[in-house]
Chain A
């Protein structure tokens, strides 16, 4: 770390670091306090996008403005996280629905009531075999 950075760089990077830390805290606090899994999924998304996003922008700004080198790994990390976060959230929600359907212990009903049925005369995708003609239909393989 060098001590000769201009004051505005110091201020900008410090503000971004504090923002990132606060959102990481908010995400984990949501994970602890929210009453059921479907609600708890919302907490850590704040830590992933805003929290880590602010930390990574702080890092880019620090290395560029204070040390004069461009680093792009941070952008790669944030792009990768932004792409993968919805996928892992979807997988976790599917696990929850699946276990709720099978009546496994521990997967509680939310205060908002049981998970609503999907529209039409079907089950949630995780509970039944793929329909004919859909990408998951492997009949004939």
Chain B
């Protein structure tokens, strides 16, 4: 049963990523695009976690943790740049 659940999870996250990509292209505002990228990072972390369960190896979770950190820093950097015109003042 877990194989079916994993397949469903991969499919759901794939569809979610496609919808985020639509929002990324459609906009309309820059804030929408930042939000879409942030959500894409979240969904990719989900994909990595699913890959970890499917392959039975614990190494995928370091990647998930790294991506969580880099995604957050990226979002804050975009937002800071738009707010202040500079990232590190």
Task: List the interface of chain A (C-beta within 8 A of B).
Answer: 1-2, 5, 10-11, 13-15, 17-18, 20-22, 24-25, 27-29, 31-32, 37, 40-41, 43-44, 47-48, 51-52, 55-56, 58-59, 62-63, 67, 69, 71, 73-74, 76-77, 80-81, 84, 87-88, 91-96, 98-99, 104, 106-108, 126
**Interfacial chain B residues near A71, Cβ < 8 Å:** 58, 61
Are B58 and A21 closer than 8 Å at their CB atoms? no
16 other contacts beyond A55-B50, A73-B64, A81-B45, with CB at 8 A cut-off? Answer: A10-B2, A17-B6, A17-B9, A21-B9, A21-B12, A25-B15, A28-B15, A28-B20, A31-B19, A47-B43, A52-B49, A59-B52, A63-B58, A76-B65, A95-B34, A107-B30
* Count: A-B pairs, CB below 8 Å: 183
Name the residue on A nearest B52 (C-beta): A59
A85 to chain B, nearest CB (A): 8
Taken together as a complex, chains A and B put the C-alpha atoms of A35 and B61 apart, in Å, by: 35
A83 to chain B, nearest CB (A): 9
**Interfacial chain B residues near A5, Cβ < 8 Å:** 2
Task: List the interface of chain B (C-beta within 8 A of A).
Answer: 1-6, 8-9, 11-13, 15-17, 19-20, 22-23, 27-32, 34-36, 38-39, 42-43, 45-46, 49-50, 52-56, 58, 61-62, 64-65, 68-69, 72, 75-76, 78-80, 82-83
- 12 examples of A-B residue contacts, CB within 8 angstroms: A14-B4, A18-B9, A20-B46, A21-B8, A27-B16, A28-B15, A40-B23, A52-B49, A55-B9, A71-B61, A91-B83, A126-B83
A109 to chain B, nearest CB (A): 11
Are B72 and A88 closer than 8 Å at their CB atoms? yes
Are A21 and B56 closer than 8 Å at their CB atoms? no
Taken together as a complex, chains A and B put the C-alpha atoms of A108 and B31 apart, in Å, by: 11
Name the residue on B nearest A107 (C-beta): B29
